Structure 1
């Protein structure tokens, strides 16, 4: 199959998808080791139908409660900053508090996120 045919098939398929799904597909393909159109086409063909429960991205919630996706470099930077702060101050959130909070998510008695 020629690159032109593949591009046309991809275009036709992408036009039917929600923009956020297209963004996730492109980010997945662009961050993979391969740059072949055939690989992108396979991602497109093999993608599961996304639902709220199965669509996860790394990011953070801003003050207006909007999801702000983070790049891998931003995630690494935030992790390094958190580690440096911990090493400097020795303070952190106890594991049992995090576990209690995580276990409460989705229940009628959700606990506030420990800080």
Structure 2
């Protein structure tokens, strides 16, 4: 027969193993929700637009209404599917995409125009 101390040691080891397993499940197996994934994609898209604006390429192509070139500039930054649509004060300048996905996010970035004239343009990136 085993002594009382040995049984308590075995019980302690079993409880430590169970608690360790539960902690492992809670912290390492948590799935990333779609909302967090969308938020991260939106942040990535906004930061990419900001970098392109600082390089002055974004402003140039937006004023020329060249959404295709802006999409090419965004290619190294964004991993998911995306489409760029440009808007002026009255409506869209470029074609609004038809997207079949239900998991869509959009990011807007507004530029004021050139130094000489005020011509605001909204650059909207649709991500799916």
TM-score (norm 1): 0.20
Q: Which has the higher helix share?
A: 1
Q: Which has the higher strand share?
A: 2
TM-score (norm 2): 0.19
